[in-house]
Structure 1
Amino acid sequence: MYIPLSDIMLPQQITNLSSFQEEVGIKIYDSITKYGAALSFLLGDDIAGRNVREILKSFQWNFDEDHFERLGWREFSAQIPLNSEEIELADIFRDAAAYALQGCVPQRIGTTLSDRKYWITQLIAKVEDGMAFDQIFLGKHYSYLWAAVLARGAIDLETPRAPLEGLRLLGGLSLQAMRNAISNDGVFHPDHRQTVPAEEARQWIAHRRSFCVSRWKNLVDDQYLEDVRDEAITEDGKIRVPQATEGDLFIPEKIMRSSRGKRSLTITIGAKGHERQFSNYYEALQALSEEEIARWRRPNAQGHWGIVRGRGAWVVVSKAEIDRQIEGRKKTLLS
């Protein structure tokens, strides 16, 4: 499906997906009213009323048919209060937003990577099916969301092609900057549908600092969707930590090493030339949360310790897992 480039910007965090879900639910109700008006214009008010009644009965657990008949379908539709059942109609939009923004499977966490990958695959398939007719109900208002889902899917699951509009959103580029990337840099080679090969998408997005690496790939991440870092260490057994490229988390097994000439462990945070060392993981994490940009040292694939910077949302892991890793590093490095 052709998805043109637009000037919509995708936020890097959604702090209240419930509000977003309610917004979509309201728009779905509005679309039902418009559907009734269209049927009334074409086929008459009686047929429109019968159709609207059956639609509302299918998802309203407390549908009052007598009240509907007394008011008529137009007045009844205008007075509908949303409840949890109706809002659940917008689950697909909530799931799509969470996956597009942070690569999460919020309502089906899964205990294995294969579980999470399965639900991601199901979400993408549903988006692809729905793109053919979602504009009937909601216009073009949420086309950007589907593009972002498909672009992340191409990056995560190696599907053949990614929509340019989705990549623009995931990379945080303005419309003009994306046009420049196409015409000047020669980074992309779009086809007539405005899609590019998935490999081009993966190579390009890896250099975008605003891109949030998909969180579903980290099993220690419970995919909590708030991006709150003021309280890195919480009282509910949860720890919020930053992540770097490829989802490298600021966790003990990745960042703790033995101190030179000392029988202790050390953690290094901060930009080059302004580095600080800590022996206590929680003190290091708290200090990191107070930095404008989180930076810390960790070994790369060749074992060389270098500085990385946080990208995207801070993620949540359990305190029990953190403590287990701390003890594991002590046994491995100090025994």
Structure 2
Amino acid sequence: MNMPNLTPETMTADERREAWFQRELIGYALAANSDYTANWDYGHELLELLASRFRVIELILGADEVAPHLFALLHGPDVEGETWREAFETYDPVLTPHWTGTKLIDNAGIYGLYGVTPKEVRFDERDGWLEELARHLEQFRQFAQPEPQGVIARIINLALSRRAIDTGVGEVDLQSLALFGGVTEGRIRNILSSNDGGLEKVGSRVTATSAAAWLKGRKEFFASIWPQPDETPPEAPSPDFADDVVFVPVAADGSHFHPGLARGGKFMVGAKGEEVQYASFDEALIALHKMATPRWRRPNEAGNWGIVSGRDWKRIERRQLMSMCAGV
């Protein structure tokens, strides 16, 4: 079965829901965006969470006494074997949506990755349903304590981060932001260290409002469409810029020259030994435009200032550039 290229501006709500089950879970197709080829099969993790609790119950109450009752808890059409251990060898909760936990993680995946709610959720009940989803996910994380670097934790983080973006309240973890934007987590860290993109860091996260502003310009981001009826046709974002456009040089790591790179009130541009200081961003940018290879100083993740070389140029709205004026 072949699925069309999954692009946010062309996918309906139903297509996004289908993508979670057929593409993310079953793997019928792969996206051109490599960040979305990550493993989303959480079945073995969910089984291990349950198995670890079953083993504790057997140790406390006695395996002979409780094992039959534990096996009886595994409801569904695909339960095989005579003990819960035998059943777990073939049982896949991802493909058997009878467990409450399976439904919870699937709902988190549908919302977290694609910005939609399950089809059975009525339009006028979606906001309240999402509040409940976030509450249940927080409870699941607190009591089940899934592996922090595992698939379940990643799905939960995505859903809670999207909720923060949708409401404008709270923070977004860096891994979720990278997945939303179709980049690596290392790229996000580089952007933060160089103060590109207007991202506001809070501890090891970024504010939801700054994440939303950064994602607005990412074609890979599946913006939430749950606030509109499913019948609303997909609408591609306008390719035009709404404000004055400036061409800025881009380094090999994807960071670019911007107004937040003043050090001591001066911008340093030029090759090593030939650097020139400029008092204004516009003057420094004009100088960079005239260079065969534009070079400028900016801090790395450790806060050390070094020279980087431009490998490309990109257009960016002046208004967005001016939002990066906060000191580094």
**TM-score with structure 1 length normalisation?**
0.51
Deviations 1:128-170 (A, max 9, x none): 2222234448972322212211221111122232223222211
Q: 1:188 to 1:24 in 2, by over 3 A?
A: same
Deviation, 1:125, is: 1.5
| CA–CA distance in structure 1, aligned partners of residues 229 and 72 of structure 2 | 41
| Structure 1 alignment gaps of length 5 or more | 1-10, 223-240, 247-335
2:85 match: 74
Residue 190 of structure 1: aligned partner: 201
Consecutive unaligned residues in structure 2, runs of 5 or more: 1-6, 9-15, 27-39, 239-328
Deviations 1:1-20 (A, max 9, x none): xxxxxxxxxx9766251682
Q: Residue 122 of structure 1 aligns to a residue in which SS?
A: helix
1:141–1:204 distance in 2 versus 1, CA, 3 Å:
same
Tell whether 2:144 aligns with 1:140: no
Equivalent pair of 1:24/1:90 in contact (CA under 8 Å): no
* 3-state SS in 2 of match to 1:211: coil
Q: In structure 2, what is the Cα distance between the partners aligned to 1:85 and 1:100?
A: 18
Q: Residue in 2 aligned with 1:170?
A: 180
Give 1:175's aligned amino acid.
E
Q: Which amino acid aligns with 2:73?
A: S
Per the normalisation by structure 2, the TM-score is 0.52
Amino acid at match of 2:235: Q
Q: Distance between the aligned counterparts of 1:202 and 1:124, measured in 2?
A: 18
Alignment partners' CA distance in 1, 2:122 and 2:169 = 22
Secondary structure (helix, strand or coil) at the match of 1:217 reads: coil
What's the C-alpha RMSD, in Å, of the aligned pairs? Answer: 3.8
Candidates 24, 29, 43, aligned match of 2:47: 29
- 1:24 deviates by 3.6
Match of 1:103 among 115, 123, 130: 115
Aligned length: 208
Q: State the alpha-carbon separation in 1 of the partners of residues 45 and 66 from structure 2.
A: 18
- Structure 1 residues 75 and 131: CA distance shift in structure 2, 3 A: closer
The amino acid that maps onto 1:202 is A
Deviation at 1:174, TM superposition (A): 0.8
Equivalent residues in 2 for 1:50-69, closer than 5 Å: 50-60=65-75
Letter in 1 for 2:25: F
| Secondary structure in 2 matching 1:173 | coil
Contact 1:108 1:119 in 2 (8 A): no
Match of residue 17 from structure 1: 21
Distance 2:45 2:121 in 1: 28
1:181 aligns with 2:181: no
Secondary structure (helix, strand or coil) at the match of 1:142 reads helix
For residues 221 and 77 of structure 2, what CA distance do their matches in structure 1 show?
A: 43
- Measure, in 2, the Cα distance between the counterparts of 1:197 and 1:51: 47
Q: 1:59 to 1:104 in 2, by over 3 A?
A: same
